[in-house]
Amino acid sequence: MRTYVPKNGDISRDWLVVDASNQVLGRLATEIARLLRGKHKPEFTPYLDTGDFVIVVNSSRVRLTGRKMLEKRYYRTSGRPGGLHTETARERFEKYPERVVRAAVWGMLPKNRLGRQLLRKLKVYGGAEHPHQAQQPRAYALER
């Protein structure tokens, strides 16, 4: 018995729309990461990109539990001495709600070339509108 390994021509990628309204951020991010990796498909292979494209709408309506809005911090640096910048989840959420969702999903993907390739298939929008109607995406219902 030989192990089946899908080839690039055999992999079919769908476009899925996920509504983030009233979803808890971490639970939403795990489900999105699972869809991006392709773990929901029978032809899943750990070292190949077998996942789907995911469009996340209404990212500005996602929920953070507990005191995470006040206590969770995001860090970035300019690389220079004294160049560390921090902001709370509330500050980032008010300016860029898309980046909060993208950072949560990135934390659940592999930190290598495959993970970066998977992250390019994630499209996040703050409102209900998205410019990907030509791809005929289908709605994906998340379980609560």
Q: Which of 96, 129, 121 is nearest to 19 (CA)?
A: 129
Token couple for 131: 């410019």
Does 8 have pLDDT greater than 90? Answer: no
Instruction: Tell me which of 94 and 8 has the higher pLDDT.
Output: 94
pLDDT at residue 40 in the model = 95
pLDDT at residue 143 in the model = 77
Q: Which of 40, 66, 48, 38 is nearest to 6 (CA)?
A: 48
- As a CATH number, domain 15-140 is 3.90.1180.10
pLDDT at residue 144 in the model = 63
- Bridge partners (DSSP) of residue 63 are 24
Domain ranges of the chain: 15-140
Token couple for 24: 């808890």
Pair 82, 42: CB distance under 8 Å: no
Whole-prediction pTM: 0.92
The Cβ-side half-sphere exposure at 67, using a 13 Å CA radius, reads 2
